[in-house]
Amino acid sequence: MNSALARQRLELLPSVASACRLCPRECGVNRLKGEIGFCGAGQEAEIFLEYVHWGEDADITPAQTMYLTGCNLSCVFCQTAEESQCLPSVRLTPEMFKNILVQGRRSGAEFVNILGGEPTVNMPALLELFARSGDFSGLVWNTNFYGSARAFQLLDGLVDVFMGDLKFGDPACAKTLSGAEDAGETARARALEIYGRTPDRLIARHLVLPGHFDCCTRPTLEWIARNLPGVRVSLKTVYLPPRSLPQDCEEKRFLSPEEAATARRLAEKLCLNLTRDADLSSEQTCKERPDSARPPVLVEAAIAPDGRVYMRHIVREAAQLLSRLESAHE
């Protein structure tokens, strides 16, 4: 991330933020004066969780991960939304941002993973933080891709990896599940643009949802194969159903092993360039022990009816535990 370039992009920000057009909702509020639109993001970024994540794709692990408030979609299966309502948020000041970067590097982080929420709706605050933080490497923009073309153009040259969601193959599913009928169409447009500019910086992520193979998974993977040849693809088959969903909702259940296997077989048939999961080797160690005064991170584990273990917020110690469990099972 180039801080001098971030300062230049700040000068261009009024074109999309003074009457907000950062995303397709085009609320028109003046984000530069603190007015708040659909996403709920304010003039300053707020953070409700940060830690070094050891359980993402190997291409972006380990990553100093920062969860921001504010999102422009209302996905019914979103785990982060529940968390953001329960955990207190604090203003992400330049000093805090710098300290988080330093602590992350000391704890072994090789990437800086910005998510939430949706980082694009926090662009006014984030560009200001980037401009004042000094240069750093490994910036990951972890996004639902529901942003405007102009907004993503402002990120060109600043972001090292765009980890972008391509979830929906059917507009009806997009509307029901995310609250935006054009979520799939918009995401595909942003993916094409980034692929056209810097294909090596794009990871197309698809979350396989229970009961959505024919309407979403199949058309999405086939579209990627046709339009983004060779792109890195993160195929997520570890779906953890939110507690808030009603019991009779299809998305309330775990993904079946058959559904996960079918999605993977299709990806292999299409010759997609799949990313691999993080190496959870117990030999991984911190470059420097993190400050013992830092608050612990709650690691949530869930066991599916068939015995599969799902884990959220995988810190180094949890990754080592998973590695030992896998070895014992084998």
pLDDT score of 301: 82
3-state secondary structure of 207: strand
Q: Which residues pair with 65 in a beta bridge?
A: 51, 113
Average pLDDT in the 83-89 region?
Answer: 85
* Local confidence band at 280 (pLDDT 50, 70, 90 cut-offs): low
For the chain, how far is it from start to end, CA to CA, in angstroms?
A: 42
Which of these ranges, 16-25, 188-197, 213-222, 304-313, has the smallest mean pLDDT?
A: 304-313
pLDDT digits (tens, 9 = 90+) for 130-162: 999 999 999 999 999 999 999 999 999 999 999
What integer best gives the mean pLDDT of the chain?
91
- DSSP letters for 100-124: HHHHHHHTT--EEEEESS-GGGGHH
Q: What is the pLDDT of residues 109-137, one digit of tens each?
A: 999 999 988 999 999 999 999 999 999 99
Give residue 282's pLDDT: 43
What pLDDT is attached to residue 32?
94
Q: How confident is the model at residue 278 (pLDDT cuts 50, 70, 90)?
A: low
Quote the pLDDT of residue 303.
84
319 pLDDT band, cuts 50/70/90, is confident
Least confident of 104-108, 182-186, 306-310: 306-310
The label of the residue with tokens 């193979």 reads 213
Coil, helix or strand for 1? coil
pLDDT of residue 129: 97
291 pLDDT higher than 60:
no
Cα 102 vs. chain centroid, distance in angstroms? 21
Any idea which fold 3-329 has? TIM Barrel (3.20.20)
Residue with the two structure tokens 């999309």: 16
Report whether 311 contacts 318 (CB < 8 A): yes
Q: How far is CA 54 from the centre of its chain?
A: 14
Could you identify the residue written with the tokens 């009603």?
Answer: 246
- The pLDDT score that the predictor gives to residue 87 is 86
* Residue 284, pLDDT above cutoff 60: no
Band (211; pLDDT cuts 50, 70, 90) = very high
pLDDT in tens, 92-107: 999 999 999 999 999 9
Cis peptide before 62 (omega within 30 of 0): yes
d(CA 115, CA 122): 10
Q: Percent of the chain beyond pLDDT 90?
A: 75
> How would residue 293 be classed by pLDDT, with cut points 50, 70 and 90?
low
Stated pTM of the model: 0.92
What average pLDDT does range 164-172 have in this prediction?
98
Which H or E run includes 223?
helix 218-227
Contact 133, 94 (CB under 8 A): yes
Q: pLDDT at residue 262 above 70?
A: yes
**In the chain, what are the domain boundaries?**
3-329
Residue 46 backbone dihedrals phi, psi, to 5 degrees: -120, 145
SS3 170: coil
